[in-house]
Structure 1
């Protein structure tokens, strides 16, 4: 028994009602009955026993604690927070109560308050593994996987035989591109608990990112053997395999039919089933399914198309010729970064895979370091941040951004003369890229707007972002605003922005790839033609496609959907 558990049991033995004033809790026998009811699965009896205690002592810590746990399991988070707040007020140094309160606050979306409660739990008991694990989960919700890794590692240092912690750490490692380490921890989780469908699914995702498609499919299949209704595994199978067996198709169709309307499972299965119906040539049914999946996810988002359009116009207003003249010469001399920008699904992953196949180029993948570094630097100058605070940048600020960005990449980029930084959304940052790295290459990937929008509309992006893509009208409007901003950058920087057109590359690869390499200052290398054979981590929706030779079947795909998704034509 570890020290933390001993302390909690001793505290329970000596606990007192905050209102009764007795050295020994007079409600202890009823509380023990409530705990036994809960342990044996009789939740209603546990609730009744706790309520009988609260009728006499509303601030009873342990009764409120158990009611809070039960309410949280029933997804009644406001009620859970109420009970757990009373519990922690009565026993402010109980790590378990503080941890459960933090977890309920996190589920309710009150992330800052959740962070404070979990910090308090760890201050009370730094070795409380649940607090470490839940703090890590909160970091993941706050899009801080590196922070999560630290807390999961601490949890494993306390007890390395908890399968869930290994799997959760693997998820965080995968989110930061540490695929080999993620695979190791998924396998550790499965060694501890052989029947663990979430770890099987996660291992499949990691193997997919590593290019081991056959093995990835095998682990998705195991996950489905262990959990017949594993929606994520079904969706992943649908997107990494060219064909599904009829039995799997039937299973996806039946599970989709039974999934609750508007649920997460229904959403994932709508995308998966839509992909299969597309392969079968039923584009009308596929369109219905993609529309359903998108609508479910859009309902969960807070997104303003008007605010987003205004932001893009504001960027163009600030980064004009006068701004560039006033900040000329502020940047650094290195030409190492090759920034790849454009709309998602416009060929950015294909272009990066081609370049990363060159011996002088290291493939960085989807890096968020540049915008993160810029946003932090501008926030320090002015609370308005990006883009308005850019006018306050001095030469020293710009050079510090360059140093911070390059330092953040030291541990992840192979030592080659050049490296790719592929983040489609960096089209917003072209002005800052030119300011900080005036000699860096910027490649703008273009594709038929209708095919681009269709390709986005057919995919759910589990890593988040791209909130504009889940409503066809908002998606086509965003594409028009993106086009206008890219035209602005082109008017400022001309041919310094290298155009890489998807249709041109896949229709006649060799001359297009030779031209692209030449514009990047690279000699032709035949390995760039065989990019699909290059072994590297690819963590995007295109992970399966770039493992295959070039194909042209997706050119003009929008025409199949034109009768059923008439809004697509507005993107062109």
Structure 2
């Protein structure tokens, strides 16, 4: 039975709310919550008291709790748009962008002044970008940037990233230059600019910005490690010595120690000091493994769930009417398999455009205005019928054109799509899939030495790496068994670097693309490389890395036992 609230009680509760808010706004949260408890003893969950609880949680950075309280308050006061702004922000900071976006839209439509005052343009842009709505997000980023006075540095950096995703490198650099002029002594800006420029093959400019980063922050080991990795230059040996000093003086398990371990491992490998190199990489991987959550059993379950909906019978029917006529080329495989080299070669063809490693397929499977998650993707793979997959293909084609600004036939190098080959085949009947494989030991060593900051959590432990690689091999065998002929082409990295021209002829013929001699000039290609191969791929094709793993055969024994099963 609902408790009746008298005017006297309501007045008293409002007084409690005012008192609690006065304490909360001064950062005296314990006192504020104490008053909220008193109010609850008089009447539980009075909306204004619930609102104070929510704002107290938000001001302390507890956004999940803030979201719960503010949702409850908003249901009781649905016309209070100021409350709705705070709820939308709490949802955004709780990674609940799907729920935040409609609230921002409602506030903008009903009270544009409040929306602007609450920095709604920037928040809305961030939420949209997390849902893959890059085109609309960029429009709101532009509006937000027009309105900032001293320059919201983090907002500009996020906007620059979306420009990069949308293949607009000039605008990304222009935005960061604007931020740099407002914050000339902030070392993170030239560092981010350098990262972007290196990906776009503008190495001389990037090195100058890394030097600028080090002028502002002499101990920036990230800038030093990139400089050392970028190739030969006059001050390189001095930079290596400097990097070694920072590494040795760093606290155990610190970020400087971690970055230094990977960089010094690469340098020792380059110098032929293989035992030292492996010890450095092992140290870096030990630290990275401690930072991530990774469970073999969960990965095994996900692999099985990804391929289960796709038996050979699933591919016996011809493509339905209404299928997208898009014919993207998907390069799939494991990280460090040589995919960047193949992508660069193909991107030099005038009829092809490199899309890079984008999440367009996962986003298309999840659906518009949805945030892709592993759980959602698995659920959709299981539930989609043939017509549903064709809708995925149509959405994928739209995303390439509208969200990623790709005009023409795209090369999608999201390697993890090897688990989604069944979905690709059903969604995009005209697509071509190139599976690029490399010697397992060489591939795994290359992963083990790479400082992956996200998405490759299985690579930091040799046993886990070996088990994951085996799962990948089993998945690829499944696709070989069930796919119709003409859908997937197998290419081996070793053949690609040994017989480059003949292999590229074979790939282009498979993709129904005429030969072009430009495809052999991979070191001259423009465009973006956002992977660990950013430096190697800019060099002419070579065979130096094919048998490099043999220098580490003894140390790789824990890995090899899995790969020989």
Q: TM-score, normalised by structure 1?
A: 0.76
Aligned to 2:291: 300
Q: 1:389 aligns with which of 383, 392, 397?
A: 383
Q: Measured at CA, do residues 361 and 432 of structure 1 come closer, stay the same or move farther in structure 2, by a change above 3 Å? A: same
Native 8 Å contact 1:136 1:147 kept in 2:
yes
Native 8 Å contact 1:156 1:166 kept in 2:
yes
- For each residue in 1:366-414, what CA deviation from the matched residue of structure 2 results, as whole angstroms up to 9, or x when unmatched? 232223212339x99x996243224x333xx343323222122224465
Native 8 Å contact 2:247 2:257 kept in 1:
yes
Q: Measured at CA, do residues 403 and 53 of structure 1 come closer, stay the same or move farther in structure 2, by a change above 3 Å? A: closer
1:235-250 equivalences under 5 Å are 235-241=225-231, 245-250=236-241
The number of residues matched between the two structures is: 529
Give the SS at the match of 1:343.
coil
1:111-150 equivalences under 5 Å are 125-128=114-117, 132-133=121-122, 149-150=138-139
Aligned to 2:400: 409
State yes or no: 1:174 paired with 2:164: yes
Aligned to 2:501: 510
Q: TM-score, normalised by structure 2?
A: 0.77
Native 8 Å contact 2:224 2:243 kept in 1:
yes
Native 8 Å contact 1:204 1:219 kept in 2:
yes
Aligned to 1:440: 431
Q: Following TM superposition, by how much is the alpha carbon of 1:128 offset from its aligned partner in structure 2, in angstroms? A: 3.4
Structure 2 stretches lacking a partner, 5+ long? 1-11, 40-47
Aligned to 2:353: 362
Output the CA distance in 2 between the equivalents of 1:104 and 1:292: 38
Q: 2:474 aligns with which of 471, 481, 484?
A: 484
Native 8 Å contact 1:362 1:413 kept in 2:
no
Native 8 Å contact 1:532 1:549 kept in 2:
yes
Q: 2:464 aligns with which of 457, 470, 474?
A: 474
Structure 1 stretches lacking a partner, 5+ long? 1-16, 36-45
1:310-325 equivalences under 5 Å are 310-325=301-316
Native 8 Å contact 2:386 2:426 kept in 1:
no
Higher relative contact order (CA closer than 8 Å, sequence separation 6+): 2
Aligned to 2:4: none
- For each residue in 1:28-69, what CA deviation from the matched residue of structure 2 results, as whole angstroms up to 9, or x when unmatched? 9x99xx99xxxxxxxxxx979x889999999999x9999989
Q: Following TM superposition, by how much is the alpha carbon of 1:444 offset from its aligned partner in structure 2, in angstroms? A: 1.0
Q: Following TM superposition, by how much is the alpha carbon of 1:547 offset from its aligned partner in structure 2, in angstroms? A: 1.5
Native 8 Å contact 2:389 2:426 kept in 1:
yes
Q: 1:422 aligns with which of 398, 413, 428?
A: 413
Aligned to 1:190: 180
Q: Measured at CA, do residues 285 and 129 of structure 1 come closer, stay the same or move farther in structure 2, by a change above 3 Å? A: farther
1:242-321 equivalences under 5 Å are 245-321=236-312
Q: Following TM superposition, by how much is the alpha carbon of 1:176 offset from its aligned partner in structure 2, in angstroms? A: 4.3
Output the CA distance in 2 between the equivalents of 1:405 and 1:271: 37
Q: Measured at CA, do residues 409 and 103 of structure 1 come closer, stay the same or move farther in structure 2, by a change above 3 Å? A: closer
Aligned to 1:451: 442
Larger CA deviation: 238-247 vs 402-411: 238-247
Output the CA distance in 2 between the equivalents of 1:151 and 1:473: 46
- For each residue in 1:410-431, what CA deviation from the matched residue of structure 2 results, as whole angstroms up to 9, or x when unmatched? 2446544x33122111111222
Q: Measured at CA, do residues 467 and 141 of structure 1 come closer, stay the same or move farther in structure 2, by a change above 3 Å? A: farther
Larger CA deviation: 180-189 vs 278-287: 278-287
Q: Following TM superposition, by how much is the alpha carbon of 1:446 offset from its aligned partner in structure 2, in angstroms? A: 1.0
Aligned to 1:334: 325
Aligned to 1:5: none
Q: Following TM superposition, by how much is the alpha carbon of 1:280 offset from its aligned partner in structure 2, in angstroms? A: 3.0
Native 8 Å contact 2:448 2:460 kept in 1:
yes
Q: Measured at CA, do residues 92 and 227 of structure 1 come closer, stay the same or move farther in structure 2, by a change above 3 Å? A: farther
Aligned to 1:571: 563
Q: Measured at CA, do residues 481 and 55 of structure 1 come closer, stay the same or move farther in structure 2, by a change above 3 Å? A: closer
Q: Following TM superposition, by how much is the alpha carbon of 1:137 offset from its aligned partner in structure 2, in angstroms? A: 5.4
Q: 1:216 aligns with which of 190, 193, 206?
A: 206
Q: Following TM superposition, by how much is the alpha carbon of 1:216 offset from its aligned partner in structure 2, in angstroms? A: 1.1
Output the CA distance in 2 between the equivalents of 1:532 and 1:305: 38
Q: Measured at CA, do residues 192 and 454 of structure 1 come closer, stay the same or move farther in structure 2, by a change above 3 Å? A: same
Give the SS at the match of 1:126.
helix
